[in-house]
Amino acid sequence: MPTVVAQNGLPLTYARFSAVFAPSASLPLPAYTGSMFRGAFGMALKQAVCVTRTYDCPSCLLKERCLFPYIFETPPPPDARVMRKYTAAPHPFVFEPPGGAITAPAGQPLAIGITLFGKAIAALPHFIFALEQLGRRGLGGRRVRCALKTVSGSLDGEQWTLYSDDDRVPRSADGFQQAFVLPLRPASQSLEESRSQDMTVHFLTPMRVRYDSRLANDLPFHVLFRNLLRRIGHLSYFHCGGDPSAMAFREWIELALRVKTVDHDLRWFDWQRYSNRQQTTMRMGGLIGRVKFKGHVEPFHPFLKVGEIVHAGKGTSFGLGRFKVTTDR
């Protein structure tokens, strides 16, 4: 996808889907199910797309052309102008897994949300095939087989079936692509025309935000917004053809520093996952709850709307960092 020269704004394209499984037996779910689904999906996708059957990405001659590294590892390309010192750019997908710490009954629908960004939208058939395969291999410690029943696309509040176990040829995802164009800098009249408002951010899954080289244990608005602005910029650059270099980061952060916290109810949700790649258990806790802010928040609404879709913080492909915003007018 060619780079789009940012003149009027920063583009971000996305499409949202829902996959519904039916467990063949009762399926105990862990406290946080994102790790279970993402790990099983990664293994299934690698096996589905690897043409060499070595499953050894670092030494593969085809790694620059293969879908798996792009989707699941996402190394910055050699000519990248940002994140050149990082091993991975933001992945072009987000899972929104079902609730955990329960047992999913046999035969009852078990749904997972999937959001794809930019170039990854065209890869929906590969996602569907990998979801089929992970269901056949089974989920959880008991390897409960879960038949993929349907995959639906979301548009204008409606769900449209793109795949079913009765019709396994997926329909095109093109019609479900949606786009935002985000402002590059605050409008000069932002403060004059907007009034102070109360706004509450509800953190629905653990939020892991690093600030000052550590995981934040509270979330001032400017800390949340810094992270969100960086994430949106990188998603746009690596997957949607955008150029965030024209974004007035300093102006936005100065404006964000004026939004104050007036109340909060945050708590730490601790969970851990086992990494097959690193052969170790990793702690993945984060903040859940709510924070109430007050100030001139209207200029930030477009970014927060996008943030509800892309999530924020670390571990977004697991479904972490999901939030919703409510504003008192």
For residue 117, list its beta bridge partners: 14
What is the predicted pLDDT for the residue at 57? 85
Is the model's pLDDT at 169 over the cut of 90? no
Q: Which of 178, 212, 234 is the last residue of a domain?
A: 178
User: Residues near 104 by Cβ (< 8 Å), separated by ≥ 6?
Assistant: 23, 26, 27, 28, 29, 98, 110
Q: 156: buried, middle or exposed (CB in 10 Å: 19+, 13-18, 0-12)?
A: exposed
Q: Does residue 307 sit within a domain?
A: yes
- pTM, full prediction: 0.91
- Distance CA(91)–CA(72), nearest Å, equals 6
Question: Please, which pLDDT band fits residue 77 given cuts at 50, 70 and 90?
Answer: confident
What is the predicted pLDDT for the residue at 193? 60
Give residue-wise pLDDT tens across range 10-36. Answer: 999 999 999 999 999 999 998 888 888
User: Residues near 204 by Cβ (< 8 Å), separated by ≥ 6?
Assistant: 288, 322, 323, 324
100 and 216 inside one domain: no
What is the predicted pLDDT for the residue at 3? 44
For residue 22, list its beta bridge partners: 147
User: For the residues of 98-109, what is the DSSP string, one character each?
Assistant: PB-SSEEPTTS-
Q: Does residue 300 sit within a domain?
A: yes
286 and 317 inside one domain: yes
What is the predicted pLDDT for the residue at 21? 97
Instruction: Say which amino acid occupies 12.
Output: L
Q: Which of 54-58, 67-71, 132-136 has the lowest mean pLDDT?
A: 54-58
234 and 150 inside one domain: no
Going by the DSSP 8-state scheme, the letter that residue 310 receives in this structure is: H
Q: Does residue 121 sit within a domain?
A: yes
Q: Which of 178, 198, 225 is the last residue of a domain?
A: 178
Is the model's pLDDT at 136 over the cut of 80? yes
Question: Please, which pLDDT band fits residue 310 given cuts at 50, 70 and 90?
Answer: very high
Q: What is the mean pLDDT of residues 247-264?
A: 95
Is the model's pLDDT at 2 over the cut of 50? no
What is the predicted pLDDT for the residue at 6? 47
Q: Which of 99-103, 168-172, 288-292, 294-298 has the lowest mean pLDDT?
A: 99-103
Helical (H) or strand (E) element with 304:
helix 301-310
- Number of folded domains that form the chain: 2
- Distance CA(51)–CA(200), nearest Å, equals 48
What is the predicted pLDDT for the residue at 5? 44
Q: Which two tokens stand for residue 258?
A: 């004026």
301 and 205 inside one domain: yes
Is the model's pLDDT at 317 over the cut of 70? yes
What residue numbers bound the domain in which 141 lies? 11-178
Q: Which of 138, 161, 178 is the last residue of a domain?
A: 178
100 and 211 inside one domain: no
Distances (CA, A) of 107 to 98, 149, 274: 15, 10, 28
Q: 141: buried, middle or exposed (CB in 10 Å: 19+, 13-18, 0-12)?
A: exposed
What is the predicted pLDDT for the residue at 176? 94
Going by the DSSP 8-state scheme, the letter that residue 311 receives in this structure is: -
Q: Does residue 265 sit within a domain?
A: yes
159 and 298 inside one domain: no
User: For the residues of 115-129, what is the DSSP string, one character each?
Assistant: EEEGGGGGGHHHHHH
Going by the DSSP 8-state scheme, the letter that residue 5 receives in this structure is: P
Q: What is the mean pLDDT of residues 135-159?
A: 93
What is the predicted pLDDT for the residue at 280? 65
Instruction: Say which amino acid occupies 217.
Output: N
Buried-state track 165-199, b at ≥16 Cβ within 10 A, e below 16: eeeeebbebeebeeebbbbbbbeeebbeebeebeb
- Distance CA(234)–CA(74), nearest Å, equals 12
Sign of dihedral through CA atoms 144, 149, 153, 158? negative
Can you give the CATH number for the domain in which 236 is found? 3.30.70.1900
Q: If you average pLDDT over every residue of the chain, what do you get?
A: 90
Q: What is the mean pLDDT of residues 102-116?
A: 94
